[in-house]
């Protein structure tokens, strides 16, 4: 009797949930030009069966993200959650202790839902003063270290200091900057996606 080999099981689709503010919502741009859309394109080009859900809202704070994350987790059941919030907390001068608690709660909720978490930080404009900027950035490091999750310290690294890569408001990156934002996120995100992703950068391999 001839035995038929069982067909290999198809790999399950990976769902990435991005919970962010205007920097991830492609404020002032065609959404297709934003770094989250470029992430979707990069994953598809590399053969990943991945759904990328962009749940980012311009102007959102960690308070808003904390409130809406549970519903998003139930609706999308993500494997990976990217949390890119806090910039508006800093711009509005909200208490750093509250920002930290909100981020810690979001990380905890995502983990309880079975997701791997990536935390993404931002740097405030220089007019906020060196001391406050340092304390603000330290919040992201403390949350990431305490929860043992990877951190992108500065989403706008290599962008914010170049006016030609920013929109007229000086706060939001333009379309030319979006590939750099993705490359800033990729080295920390790729290890969360499994074999074949880690160590790969953009088309030129630069990361």
Domains of the chain (ranges, CATH numbers): 14-193 (3.40.50.1110)
Beta bridge partners of 16: 52, 80
Mapping DSSP to helix (H, G, I), strand (E, B) and coil, where does residue 66 land?
helix
**145 classed as catalytic:** no
Q: Which of 21, 24, 89, 172 is catalytic?
A: 172
- Separation in Å, CA 61 to CA 4, 85, 171, 180: 56, 6, 16, 23
Q: Which of 148, 169, 204, 206 is catalytic?
A: 169
pLDDT at residue 138 tops 80:
yes
pLDDT at 9: 42
Place 206 in a pLDDT band, splitting at 50, 70 and 90.
very low
**172 classed as catalytic:** yes
Average pLDDT over the chain reads: 90
pLDDT tens digits, one per residue of 18-62: 999 999 999 999 999 999 999 999 999 999 999 999 999 999 999
Q: Which of 22, 24, 56, 190 is catalytic?
A: 22
Beta bridge partners of 80: 16, 116
**Once rounded to an integer, what is the mean pLDDT over residues 128-139?**
95
Would you report the helix, strand and coil content of the chain in percent, each value rounded to 5?
A: 45, 15, 40
pLDDT at 126: 87
pLDDT tens digits, one per residue of 56-115: 999 999 999 999 999 999 999 999 999 999 999 999 999 999 999 999 999 999 999 999
**How many degrees, rounded to 5, is the angle at CA 18 between CA 13 and CA 22?**
150
pLDDT at residue 198 tops 80:
no
pLDDT at 189: 97
pLDDT at 194: 78
**89 classed as catalytic:** no
pLDDT at residue 169 tops 60:
yes
């Amino acid at each position: 009797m001839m035995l038929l080999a069982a067909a290999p099981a198809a790999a399950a689709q990976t769902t990435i949930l991005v919970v962010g503010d205007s920097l991830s919502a492609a404020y002032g741009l065609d959404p297709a030009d934003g770094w989250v859309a470029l992430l979707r394109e990069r994953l598809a080009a590399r053969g990943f069966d991945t759904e990328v859900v962009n749940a980012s809202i311009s102007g959102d704070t960690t308070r808003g993200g904390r409130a809406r994350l549970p519903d998003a987790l139930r609706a999308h059941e993500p494997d990976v959650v990217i949390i890119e919030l806090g910039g508006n907390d800093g711009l509005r001068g909200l208490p750093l202790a509250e920002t930290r608690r909100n981020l810690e709660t979001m990380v905890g909720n995502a983990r309880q839902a079975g997701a791997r978490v990536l935390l993404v930080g931002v740097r405030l404009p220089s007019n906020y003063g060196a001391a406050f900027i340092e304390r603000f950035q330290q919040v992201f490091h403390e949350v990431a270290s305490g929860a043992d999750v990877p951190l992108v310290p500065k989403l706008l690294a290599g962008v914010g200091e170049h006016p030609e890569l920013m929109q007229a408001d000086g706060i939001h990156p333009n379309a030319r900057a979006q590939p750099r934002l993705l490359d800033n996120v990729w080295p920390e995100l790729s290890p969360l996606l499994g074999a074949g992703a880690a160590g790969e950068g953009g088309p030129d391999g630069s990361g």
